Each structure stands twice: as structure tokens, then as C-alpha cells.
Structure 1
Amino acid sequence: MLRARQSQGNVTVGLVFLERVLFSTLATAPYCIFFFINVTLLFTLRSKALFRDSSRYVLLFNLVMADTLQMTLSQLLYLLAVCRVLLTYPVCGLLVMCASLTNEISALTLVAMSLERYVAVCYPLRHAAIVTIRNTAVAVAVVWLSSLLNVLTRVLLLLDFPFEKLDTLQMSNFCSLFVMFLGSMSDDYDKAYTCFLFVSATVTIASTYVGVMVAARSASADKASARKARNTLLLHLVQLGLSLLSTMHNAMLVAVSKIVTMYMLLRLLNVFYVFIMLLPRCLSCLIYGLRDKSIRPVLLFHLCCRLKVSTKTQVSP
């Protein structure tokens, strides 16, 4: 009887292990595909002077780079959680803060890109004077500095926690942003800043969309350019919404964990990870890599290992 129970227990452990390996493989495969496409797009954006000297593509490069770093950090944290590797608080804090930094850079870069499209449609004659490479570099620097300032504030709030009262710095749970809320001030600050960031970004992008819609109705406006800008701004709103959803990833898991079993939670963890954490990070490639007539042929050329692509390069307006 005892041997039968031990045998059944071994079978159960083996099935759980195989299921864990299967789900982690299914989640890692999309990451590898998205990572390859994103890195190829980054290389494409640095391969031609047309892309390097255009403010629109410089902002896109910054967005894709932040998304790629965010995706890589998310994948690392996911694999650590699946393998049940427990980190120390300092190491987890470093990874979580870097992930938070890249997520905020993505949101702020979307705002800058929306403003660039607004100027291009509503003030076409002044676009070249307003949106210069120098001004774009300043905008990118402001995005990074403001995000770094927020991360520094989070670190200072974490330092307020009495770590010396802990028996060990070894964590008892897997690393995530939710676990690093060691004090009420950190939690309150995160909620307030996240709300402020995404409300401000949403209002800005929505305002630029309304401005483009109004400009499109005027007789002097370029209808085709206004239509493309309007569609791009809508996609930016979708990207921003998905980014906000990714910040709620851990809170959603905590809420779901109260009504489902542990095995069901592990399955949902993989589904949430692919559709909430990974998928939004490849949207930039789908939005620009496939829609933009300047990028598409060059991107396909590099994705196909520099094989000849029949599509002719056209410069989008």
C-alpha cells in the first residue's frame, strides 16, 4: 500500500514537472520570435541614413529598444518563477526597477510620437523647424531622465524599509513588482504615479487625435496623411492600454488566486504572461514594420536573412 502511494506520488510529481516544462516552452517560444523581430527592427532602423536622420524613426528606435528590454526582463523573471528560483531582495529590486524603467519609457515615448504626428498633420509647414533631430534628442533625454527620477524615488522608498529586522535577505516568494512593495508608502506611490502617468498620457494622445480629426476636415489638409496619422494615434492608445494592463498583471494574479486552484493559477499565469506581457511588446513591429512603406521592405530583407525581397522601397509621407 505504501509503495503504491509512493508510486502515485512520483507519477504526480512527474506530470507536474512535465506540465511546467511544456508551459514554459510554449511561453518561451513566442519570446524568441518577438525578440528576433524586435532586434531585427532595431538593426533596420540603424542601417540607413533615412531612418537615422528622421525624428519619427529615432523615436521608434527608442520605443522598440525599451520594449525589447522590458520583454527580456519579463522573460527572465518568468523563467525564475517557473524554475522556483528565489532571489535576494537587492537582486530582485534591481530587476524590478529596470523593468519599471523600461515600461515608463515606452509610455512616455508613445506620447512623444503622438505629438510628432500631431505637428506633422496640423502644422506641416513648421514641422521641419519644430521636429528636428536636436529637439528629438532632447525629448528622448527628458523621457529617460524623468523615468530614472521615478525609479530613484522608488529606491529611496525601499531603503526606508527596516531590512535589518529580517532574519535573511532571501525572499520567500518569486520576484515581482508586487512583492517589492515592502511598505505602504511604496504601494501608495506606485498607484499614484501609475495613475498620473497613464491618465496624462491618455489625455495627451486623445487630444492629439482630436486635433488631427479637426485638421482633417479642413480643405487645406492632406487627407491621406491625416488618415494615416489618425489610425496611428488610435494604435498608440491601444498600446498604452496594453502597457497599463501589464502593470496590473500581478494584481490580477493575486485576485484570481483567491478563486481558482493552484494548478489553474499556474496555467493562467502562462496565458496572462503571453498575452499581457509579451504581445504588447511586439506591437511596434506590427504597427510600423508592416504598415510603414519605408521600413517594410528593409525589415523583410533582414528578416529573410538578406534574401531578395520583391517589394520596392517607397518613402512614406
Structure 2
Amino acid sequence: MLYLLQPKANITASLLRPDPYETMLYGFLSVGSICSFFYINCVLLFTLRSKQVFCETSRFILLFNLIFADIFQLVPSLLLYLLSVLQLKIPYYACGVPVMLIVFLESISPLTLAVMSLERYVAVCHPLRHATIFTVRNTGIAIAVVWACEFIHILIRALMLVYVFTTISVNLQMNDFCSKEHFFFAPIFNDFEKVHASTLFLSVGVAIISSTIGVALVARSASTDKESAKKALHTLLLHLIHLSLILAASLYSTIIVAIARTVGRLNLIRIYNIFFVFLFILPRCLSTLIYGLRDQTIRPVLLQNLTCRWRSSVFLKK
């Protein structure tokens, strides 16, 4: 976050303040991007609940869960961004609300991607068993397990926070801007973050890659529906790209800290704003572009809803 950009001397800060018009431009780019994607994702959520077929198909139910988590992570992320841009500091306990919400939601997307990959694998490699394995009930159970895993994750962090409070004194009026790194300031959290992120992305990556290999082998078989297998393979490859972008977003702060050692403050502010859009916002907004517009069942209804049914007949003809 922008707390990394604060100079050690007030004189230096006054000399190195970015141009206000440039700050407004970056703010408009970031806030405008979030608001645009937020609107599109909200419309896609509405679309996925507008027809019975979407509510009774496992892949659409999983897509709804994926977008739901992405939307509600954008809201506190935008709040922290605005606080840092406006250079506003808040008490420690107030900072904990958006930070804990972001941490709680940040792993929902990769875990959901793993379940979505397994669903495509079963649909292509075991089509006769797909209807019995990925029922609405079983899909709901899988989503509940995903959220339960994240609840355990945030509970462990809360217990670690209580332990830290009992060992050291904490200034409830933060000296720096609210961020995940400043809220979880103790070294023990850095070690926990490395273990959690490594385990999460390794396990999800194995699930997606294994599903991709399985579908690729089936696609080469002459006895299968090659068109369906190729579509599933393309979807799994998009899952893998999506996971890579989420991984890059999770390394967002680490990348900024590394760059901060080699560039000046003004250039760092510019890089920060660009990275915020392309590494933090974009990976959480690709669900609509990757999954919503590609699906022939969703696309006409989504386009209708995005345009408030204006010229809906034109879109449907296409």
C-alpha cells in the first residue's frame, strides 16, 4: 500500500509530492476501473440468478460463488486505497475490519477455481457420472467446504493476533496507513503468510494442472466428443492463467517493496497505481470476461442485462 511510499523527512515529502492533477488521474483510473468492474460483476450475479437453469447447473453455481467473493473483496480494497491516497490514518481496531474482510475473501477465488477445474474434468472424462457427482447439493457442500477453510484460516489469524497482543503493546492509533502489512505487523504473520500462500497455490495448481492433463488426454481419444473436450481444455487453461494472476496479486506488496529499493518516490507512486489496477483489480474482475462472455448460455442474457435490455433483440440475433 502507499505506506511504503512515505519519506522519512517532512521536507523531502513536501518536495517530492506528486502533481495533484497526476494524482487525480491515477485516482480516477483506479476508482473508475473498480466501479466499472463492480457494476459488470453485479450484473453477472443478477444474471446467474435470473433463470432456473443457472441456479441448477453446477458450473454456474460455482461461477456465482467466484464472482460473489471477488465483488466483496473489491469494496474494502477500494476503501484502503482511498484512505492511502487521501493520506488518512484510522485507529488500529477500525483498520482491522476491512483488512480481515480482505484476508477472509482472498483465498475463495483460487479454491473455487480448483473445484471448477474438477467439475470440468468430471464432465469430460466421466460424463456418465457427472450428473450424480456434481449435483446442486454436492456443489453446495463443496462451496461450504471452501468457505469453511477460509473461516479456519481467519480464525487462526485472529488467535495469532490475540497471542501477539498478550506479548507486546500495540499502539491503537496507527502511525502508518491502514494495510494488511501494518495490521499484521508481527514477524510471525510473515512466516504464516508464506506457508499458507505456498500450500494454497501449490494444491490449487496441482488440481488445475492435473485436470488439464486429464482433459487433454481425453481430447485426443477418438471415442470422445472432441469439440466439448477442446472447450473444456480451453476453460482449464484459462483457470490456470486466472490462478497465475491471483498469485501475482498476492505478491503485490512484495513486488512493491522490492521496487521501492531501486526507484524514486514519484516513480514508485506511478508504479504503485499501475500495479494496483493491473495486479490487484484486474485478476478479480476477469471472471466476467473469461467465464461470462465465453459461455453461449450466459452471454445473450448478460448482454441484455448490461444494456438494461436496450436493443436486446440485436444482441440475441448475434
Same fold (TM over 0.5): yes
Which sits farther off after the overlay, 14-23 or 273-282?
Answer: 14-23
Shift of 1:165: 5.2
Matched residue, 1:47? 50
Q: Distance in 2 between matches of 1:193 and 1:165?
A: 24
The partner residue of 1:252 within 255, 261, 264 is 255
- What count of residue pairs does the alignment treat as equivalent? 305
Partner of residue 212, structure 1: 215
Alpha-carbon distance, 1:294 to partner: 0.4
Pairing partner for 1:262 from 262, 265, 268: 265
Q: Sequence identity, in percent?
A: 46
Secondary structure of 1:218's counterpart equals coil
TM-score, L = length of structure 2? 0.91
Determine the C-alpha separation between the residues in 2 that align with 1:46 and 1:187: 40
Matching residue within 140, 145, 158 for 2:148: 145
CA contact 1:178–1:251 (8 Å) conserved in 2: no
Three-state SS of the structure 1 residue aligned to 2:314 is coil
Could you tell me which residue of structure 2 aligns to residue 157 of structure 1? Answer: 160
The 5 A counterparts of 1:89-238 are: 89-162=92-165, 166=169, 168-238=171-241
Q: Which residue of 2 aligns with 1:276?
A: 279
Could you tell me how far 1:221 is from its partner in structure 2? 1.1
> Aligned equivalents of 1:34 and 1:163: distance in 2?
42
Could you tell me how far apart the structure 2 residues matched to 1:30 and 1:215 are?
A: 40
Secondary structure of the equivalent of 2:179?
A: coil
Matched, 1:19 2:15: no
Structure 1 281/313 Cα, relative in aligned 2: closer, same or farther at 3 Å? farther
Q: Which moved more, 1:242-251 or 1:57-66?
A: 242-251
Residues 216 and 13 of structure 1: CA distance in aligned 2, closer, same or farther (over 3 Å): closer
Give the whole-Å Cα distance in 2 for the aligned partners of 1:18 and 1:213.
51
- Tell me the distance in 1 between the aligned counterparts of 2:137 and 2:18: 58
Match of 1:57 among 52, 55, 60: 60
Structure 2 counterpart SS, 1:75: helix
Matched with 1:82 is 85
Tell me whether 1:36 sits opposite 2:39 in the alignment.
yes
Does 276-285 or 20-29 show the bigger shift?
20-29
The equivalent of 1:294 in structure 2 is: 297
- Between the aligned partners of 1:278 and 1:57, the Cα distance in structure 2 is 22
Let me know the Cα RMSD of the aligned residues.
Answer: 2.0
* Aligned residue number for residue 3 of structure 2: none
Partner of 1:310: 314
Report which structure shows greater RCO (CA 8 Å, sep ≥6): 2
Deviation, structure 1 residue 164: 8.4
Point out where structure 2 has 5 or more consecutive residues left out of the alignment. Answer: 1-11
Consecutive unaligned residues of structure 1, counting only runs of 5 or more, are 1-8
